[in-house]
Amino acid sequence: MTTRLLAQKIVVAALGLALFVSAGISFHRSRNLAEPVVLGPGVTSVKKLGEYFAAIRGTVNDCNLYFMEGREPGGTMLVLGGSHAEEPAGRLAAWLFVENGTVEKGRVIVALSANRSASTMTRLGGAYPPDFTIDTPSGPRMFRMGDRWTNPLDQWPDPEVFIHYPSGQELAYVDIRNLNRTWPGRPNGTFTEKTAFAFMEMIRREKVDVAIDLHEAELQYPVISTIVTHQRGQELATMVSMMLTDNEDFKIGTEFSPLTLHGLSHREIGDHSPAISLLFEAPEPFLDATRGITSREQLLTGKDEFVVKAGRHGLLFEEIDEKGWPIAVRVGRHTSSILQVAETWSEDNPAKPLAISGVPRYAEVIEKGVGAFLQDVTKAGKDRLAYE
Amino acid sequence: MSMFTQAGIVLATMLAVYVAARLFRLSTELGMLAAAIGGALVGGFGLPARHIAEGAATYLDINLIFVTATLFMNLLKESGGVAFVVRAILQRFHRSRVLMLVLLTILLLVPGALTGAGSVTVLVTGSLVAVVLHYMGIPKHKAAALVFVNACLSAAAPPVSLWAMMTAAGVNMPYVGFFWPLLLPCLAAGLLTSFILGWKGERTDAIKALAELPVPPAGMNWLRVLLPFAVFFGLVWMGRQFPHSTPIIGLPMMFAAAAFASYLLSPVRLEFFRISRETIDQLLPLLATLTVAGILVQIMTLTGARGLLAVTAVTLPVAVVYATLFLVLPASEAVLMWGAAPVIGVPLVLLFNARGLDPIVALAGMSLIWPLGDALPPTAIIGRLTVEIVGFKGAYGRFLRACLVPAIVIIVIGTLMVIYSKKLGFLTGL
């Protein structure tokens, strides 16, 4: 080997090492970024998902479950944030419940990171920012930006084709790592299937009445700005949709969960437990394939000239203009929708009421911003802090 | 500055850096890497180590399939299995030109279909098939064209079609339903190609051909050739038949198992580590292309350059897109190789989907046309490799001219598949 070639190899190796170390630090930070959660006045206990299924205990998906017990008995509602960790409005809306909510009647159980593994990486080829920051009166709060799928560090390899359990339906191989394609899960399945199974066990043991899965969707996706409901929740969802459209300044539709489309929470939770299952979709232009610059700003403002242009050509299923879809709008849609479900449920089921207070609705979140409802971490006592 | 201007500047910079890198005789892969870094710098993202690393890992699984499948094919070749099959075809069918052409076409399609790489077809079966073609009286430039075009089609054929896989991944579309939309046109176009280029010739001189072909070692038989394939397909079958009681090992491990079976069944002792080393040497440029394509796509997504291409494509009149597919797809392949799939393929599939076409059949049609660019400069890797392996010493242009008629046939088939994709949707079985 000539001296020149050796020198070239040393330089390339050094550059590669520098890249390896620099990127490695960033990946390590993402995977281990602890997100503080201030336990609001309504949180009465924090349990772990692993308490319901031992195989999940101590794993990355042994997520926190925030229990908000009411002073009076009533129904039980489950709110799932972070099924898809690349859809931050779902996580943040759930966060506002935990940090602000009080339950007077019934019980609310909240997961902020339903697939915590998916929140520890970003999408390969997607150029996502590793995290994003929400400004609050007490300073910035940083959150992990995640992916749609379980981190391959936790579940790999993928099969040649994913055959859903128990339906036998063929799905894309990669969706074997998608929590919202693996419901109802199975105890001896893959890591993601075990996670779904653990949630099903929790739903059955805690006698959940209504399960809500919070999502966001690209504007090119037809299932958007809607509540997808299991057939047992059709009346509830339709009434919620009407009430929100009449009383709040946003439109939300209703779609019925197809009977033969398996693996999704709106189908399987309802089929395999007594709970009514609903899934909310808010618009997130950041997920659109025609999006422009992929940045934290785009993620939080939802402003994108390219997506606007696609909309002008009739290629979208939701409107978008220069104002974009700011995170406060997306989070506010979710908080109002959850609160409306609780109200409508209570009217329909007076023996099992759900009364929640302290959580901001759509207009208030837009007016004050999401950060206004994230509490001061420094003022919270140690016993009132948890970490995601 | 508007997003359009900003992304436009980034895209122009990437193009300029790529052209400059090529003028400075950097390889395609280094040119693509330089373009990515240039785009990130101009886009104001500095040297984004995380994005470079993340992009480089995008096609890791596909690279693993590539390596293990090619190792399988190389072990089979080294064990004498490929020579055994070629000789058997020649001995049994040399009197029938039709059967010879049909069987040689299938032989050319198998390695690339399993590995996703036309180069593997050229290297594993191309040289042996070329010997037979020579003794069938087919001139070398036509024989090279026949091997090359079939190698292209083999790469597009299922189960592993990298253009379809990469584009599907880019639009969150499962790589499901592609088997028949890829297999039928690849088989039809492959046979047409072989008959167009190989029908005219002389009576097959089997004695001379057999004398030139390598002799497989004693003990080689059909069982030793076919059992490794049975291992592979058996594992695929088990995964589908008993999905909830079969451990998930992934396609790379299935190919590795087939390779191991081939190693164990070889009648001669194979130098496993030498063959493995040679496999990696052989694949290094292709692995590098896939790795760098991932980086390029990641930076284009980061800077908005991909979005600019995507939104431009989806808002074009669809007739213009149909009419230019024959040019755009091979040209993008010639410049970016597989990188063309996520960069050009993703926006086109979005367009077709938005216009109500069947995205699976349309993408399958495009996947047929893309590999034709592998004969075109500036890369022309597989075209040049074929010419070398077949032993054609004439002008490269003569080889290209021989490819022209089959290429037109393939372009017509591929474009019609796109246009009539909705009517052909039944092929997907979904």
- Note the pLDDT of residue B81: 94
B355-368: pLDDT as tens digits? 899 999 999 999 99
pLDDT tens by residue, B196-236: 999 999 898 999 999 999 999 999 999 999 999 899 889 98
Q: Which residue has the tokens 């198998």?
A: B110
Tokens of A215: 């999502």
Q: Which three-class secondary structure state does DSSP give residue A354?
A: coil
Contact status of A157 with chain B (Cβ, < 8 Å): yes
Chain A touched by B170 (CB under 8 Å): yes
Q: Are residues B153 and B367 in contact, defined by beta-carbon separation less than 8 angstroms?
A: no
Contact A172 B176 (CB under 8 A): yes
Question: Taking the alpha carbons of B268, B269, B274, B279 in that order, is the dihedral positive or negative?
Answer: positive
How many Cβ pairs closer than 8 A exist between chain A and B? 147
The residue type of B373 is G
B66-to-B59, B297, B348, B370 alpha-carbon distances in Å: 10, 20, 26, 18
Residues on chain A touching B347 (C-beta within 8 angstroms): 289-290
Test mutation, B244, B255, B321, B360, chain A, max A CBs within 10 A: B244
Residue A55 CB neighbour total at 10 angstroms: 17
Interface test with B, best of A150, A160, A287 (most B CBs within 10 A): A160
Name the residue with tokens 């474009």: B415
Is-contact B415 B326, C-beta < 8 A? yes
Task: Output B313 or A38, whichever has higher pLDDT.
Answer: A38
What distance in Å separates residue A157's CA from the closest CA in chain B?
A: 5
Q: Does A173 touch chain B (CB under 8 A)?
A: yes
Q: Is some CB atom of chain B closer than 8 A to the CB atom of A297?
A: no
Grouping H, G, I as helix, E, B as strand and the rest as coil, residue A377 is: helix
Query: Residue B121 and residue A319: Cα distance in Å, rounded?
Result: 49
Give the SS3 label for residue A202.
helix
Q: Can you give the pLDDT at residue B119?
A: 87
Q: Stretch B349-357: mean pLDDT, rounded?
A: 88
Give the pLDDT confidence score for residue A193 in this predicted structure. 98
Q: For chain A, first and last CA: distance in Å?
A: 52
| pLDDT tens, position by position, B94-153 | 999 999 999 999 999 999 998 888 988 998 899 889 999 999 999 999 999 999 999 999
Task: Give residue A289's identity as a one-letter amino acid code.
Answer: A
- A41 and chain B: CB distance < 8 Å anywhere? no
Per-residue model confidence (pLDDT) at position A242: 96
* B278 interfacial to chain A (CB closer than 8 Å): no
Q: Domain range for residue B233? A: 3-428
Whole-prediction pTM value? 0.89
Q: ipTM more than 0.90? A: yes
Task: Report how many domains make up chain B.
Answer: 1
* Residue B63 banded pLDDT, cuts 50, 70, 90: confident
Partner-chain contact B314 A305, CB within 8 Å: no
Looking up tokens 């373009």, which residue turns up? B35
Check if B248 contacts A (Cβ < 8 Å): yes
Contact A125 B315 (CB under 8 A): no
DSSP reduced 3-state for A316: coil
Q: Which residue of A has its CA nearest to B61?
A: A157
Q: Specify the pLDDT at position B286.
A: 80
A310 touches chain B (CB under 8 A): yes
Cβ contact, residue pair A157, B249, below 8 Å: yes
Q: Which residues of chain A are modeled with pLDDT < 70?
A: none
With a cut of 90, say whether residue B336 has pLDDT above it: no
Nearest to B301 among A130, A160, A294 (CB): A294
Rounded Cα distance between A250 and A331, Å, is 12
- The beta-carbon neighbor of B250 closest among A27, A157, A293 is A157
What's the burial of A102, exposed, middle or buried (CB within 10 Å: 0-12/13-18/19+)?
A: middle
Cβ neighbours, 10 Å, residue B327: 11
Per-residue HEC secondary structure of chain B comes to CCHHHHHHHHHHHHHHHHHHHHHCCCCHHHHHHHHHHHHHHHCCCCCCHHHHHHHHCCCHHHHHHHHHHHHHHHHHHHCCHHHHHHHHHHHHHCCCHHHHHHHHHHHHHHHHHHHCCHHHHHHHHHHHHHHHHHHCCCCHHHHHHHHHHHHHHHHHCCCCCHHHHHHHHHCCCCCCCCHHHHHHHHHHHHHHHHHHHHCCCCCCCHHHHHHHCCCCCCCCCHHHHHHHHHHHHHHHHHHHHCCCCCCCCHHHHHHHHHHHHHHHHCCCCCCHHHHHHHHHHHHHHHHHHHHHHHHHHHHHHHHCHHHHHHHHHHCCCHHHHHHHHHHHHHHHHHHHHHHHHHHHHHHHHHHHHHCCCCHHHHHHHHHHHHHHHHHCCCCCHHHHHHHHHHCCCCCHHHHHHHHHHHHHHHHHHHHHHHHCCCCCHHHHCC
Give CA–CA dist B310/B138, Å, rounded. Answer: 44
Are the C-beta atoms of residues A327 and A231 closer than 8 Å to each other?
no
Do A141 and B231 meet the contact criterion of CB atoms below 8 Å apart?
A: no
Rounded to whole angstroms, the Cα distance separating B363 from B175 reads: 11
Among residues A214, A270, A237, A195, the alpha carbon closest in space to that of A79 is found at: A214
As a whole number of angstroms, the distance between CA B205 and CA B90 comes to 9
Q: What are phi and psi of B193, to 5 degrees?
A: -60, -50
pLDDT over 90 (residue B16): yes
Segment A340-353, tens digit of pLDDT: 999 999 999 999 99
Chain B interface includes A1 (CB < 8 A):
no
Any chain A CB within 8 A of the CB of B424? no
Domains of chain A (ranges plus CATH)?
A: 33-387 (3.40.630.10)
Write down the pLDDT at residue A94: 98
Handedness of CA A318, A324, A329, A331 (dihedral sign): positive
- Determine the pLDDT at residue B170: 75
Report pLDDT digits (tens) over B142-200: 999 999 999 999 999 998 898 998 888 777 777 889 999 999 999 999 999 999 999 99
Is there a contact between B342 and A127 if contact means CB atoms under 8 Å apart?
A: no
- Output the pLDDT for position B62: 80
**Which residues on B lie below 8 Å from A145 (Cβ)?**
none
> Are residues B314 and A171, on separate chains, in Cβ contact within 8 Å?
no
- Select the residue of A26, A173, A289 nearest B50 (Cβ to Cβ): A26
pLDDT category of residue B372 using cuts at 50, 70 and 90? very high
pLDDT of res. B162: 86
* Chain A residue with the nearest C-alpha to that of B48: A23
Helices (H), A153-295: 191-205, 234-247, 265-272
How many C-beta atoms lie closer than 10 Å to residue A245's C-beta? 13
Radius of gyration (C-alpha) of chain A in whole angstroms: 21
The interface residues of chain B toward chain A in range 329-358, judged by CB-CB distance below 8 A, are: 342, 346-347, 350, 354
Residues of chain B with Cβ-Cβ distance to A20 below 8 Å are 53
H/E segment holding residue A277: strand A276-283
Residue A296's pLDDT is 97
Phi/psi of residue A385, each to 5°?
-120, 140
Residue B391 pLDDT:
87
- Which residue of chain B has the CA closest to A314? B354
Mutate to test the interface with B, among A305, A313, A322 (most CBs of B within 10 A): A305
Partner A contacted by B362 (CB < 8 A)? no
Pairing of strands A139-144, A131-136: antiparallel
> What is the per-residue pLDDT for A349?
98
Nearest Cβ partner for A160 among B54, B239, B342: B239
**Is the CB of residue A163 less than 8 Å away from at least one CB of chain B?**
yes
Q: Under an 8 A CB cutoff, do B248 and A190 touch?
A: yes
Query: How far is A89 from A85, CA to CA, in rounded Å?
Result: 10
Closest CA to A121 of A66, A162, A176, A177: A177
Phi-psi map region of A304: left, alpha, beta (phi>0 left; psi -120 to 50 alpha): beta
B166: which chain A residues are within 8 Å (Cβ-Cβ)? none
Which DSSP symbol is given to A127? Answer: -
Cα separation, A122 vs A86, whole angstroms: 8
Q: Considering chain B, what is the average pLDDT of its residues? A: 92
Taking the Cβ of residue B304 and every Cβ of chain A, the question of whether any pair is shorter than 8 Å is answered with yes
Structure confidence at residue A240 (pLDDT): 98
Report how far apart the first and last C-alpha atoms of chain B are (Å, whole number): 45
Report the distance separating Cα B107 and Cα B109, nearest Å: 6
Q: What is the pLDDT of residues A47-65, one digit of tens each?
A: 999 999 999 999 999 999 9
Q: Nearest 10 degrees: CA dihedral of A208, A61, A185, A66? A: 0
